[in-house]
Amino acid sequence: MSLETILEHAAIQDVDRLRANMYRLLARALSRPADQPFLEILSSLGGDGTELGNALGALADAARATDERRAAEEYQDLFIGLGRGEVLPYASYYLTGFLNEKPLARLRNRMAELGIERDPSVKEPEDHAGALMEMMAGLIEGDFGAPQPLDVQEVFFRDHVASWMPHFYADLQKAKSAHLYSALGRVGELFIELEGSAFAM
């Protein structure tokens, strides 16, 4: 193997690690309220002058202005509410207007094909936004066996992420209850846009 090939492979691995880390950050933020350690992680994010970098900087600012109690209240208002939250983070709802519909069944079939098993301790349906972000990270890093090639990642992304999550992240930015999650929504929207562009290449 030539030095050029080794360096190219290392660069790809670095990019994939960054992609997986971003998916995991989004997954953690969407799966449960931000506790103080996670707020500190968000607060440490830095921008690099790119649009996504600036959005990460704004998320860090929002995290520094939020404490654990406020983060829990915001999560409750946005995703749980009294009866239902302001934003419903499920693919079935965004694609059909109802929960537990065909998009969830299609996702379960794809999960079975890829060897992804539902965590029995999680009560949310598998088409929850946080679960899908975690699945994308797992496909990249090999949580469900070997790391999946880009073409497999792309099909999963196209069918189960890009089909609805840009709208979800846009809704987070506009939600009345959102402060921390408004900034997170901008990060998510830009990241999904970048992923889609990269797959298209």
The CATH code of the domain that includes 188 is 1.10.3480.10
* pLDDT for the residue 6: 31
Predicted confidence band of residue 12 (pLDDT cuts 50, 70, 90)? low
- Residues 129-141 pLDDT 10s: 999 999 999 999 9
* pLDDT for the residue 9: 44
Q: What is the mean pLDDT of residues 17-34?
A: 97
Backbone Cα Rg of the chain: 17
* pLDDT for the residue 4: 42
Q: What is the mean pLDDT of residues 113-117?
A: 96
* pLDDT for the residue 57: 96
Q: What is the mean pLDDT of residues 174-186?
A: 97
Neighbouring residues of 169: CB distance < 8 A, sequence distance ≥ 6: 185, 186, 188, 189, 192
Q: What is the mean pLDDT of residues 114-142?
A: 95
State how far Cα 59 lies from the chain centre. 14
pLDDT at 121 over 90: no
* pLDDT for the residue 11: 54
Determine the structural domain holding residue 51 and report its residue range: 3-200
Bridge partners for 90 per DSSP: 128
Total tally of structural domains belonging to the chain: 1
Tokens of 145: 């066996």
Distance CA 22, CA 55 (A): 13
Coil, strand, or helix at residue 40?
helix
Q: For the stretch 121-152, what's the b/e string if a residue is b when 16 or more beta carbons lie within 10 angstroms of its beta carbon?
A: eeebbbbbbbbbbbbbbbbbbeeeeebbeeee
